[in-house]
């Protein structure tokens, strides 16, 4: 129900104000944000496990300019 500024251009509202739809979209937004944070954390933990527990060269292979031997 509100206009939006986009790079200095005022865009008109695309749909009429709908509080029920806004609440549903907010719920999805929060859910996807939490899932995203969990995936980032899981990815970091997997990198630490590979480096310190499994002791393979996965982390070294991702560093640009370094050659990790197998």
- H or E segment at 23? helix 19-48
Summarised one tens digit per residue, pLDDT across range 10-61 is: 999 888 889 999 999 999 999 999 999 999 999 999 999 999 999 998 888 8
Say if residue 70's pLDDT is above 70: no
Question: pLDDT category, 69, cuts 50, 70, 90?
Answer: low
pLDDT of residue 3: 86
Which helix (DSSP H) or strand (DSSP E) does residue 11 occupy? strand 9-11
Tell me the whole-structure pTM to 2 decimals.
0.65
């Amino acid at each position: 129900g509100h206009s939006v500024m986009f790079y200095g251009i005022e865009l008109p509202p695309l749909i009429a104000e709908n509080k029920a739809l806004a609440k549903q979209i907010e719920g999805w937004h929060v859910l996807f944000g939490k899932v995203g944070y969990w995936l980032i954390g899981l990815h970091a933990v997997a990198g630490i496990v590979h480096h310190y527990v499994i002791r393979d060269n996965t982390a070294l292979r991702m560093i640009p300019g370094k050659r990790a031997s197998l």
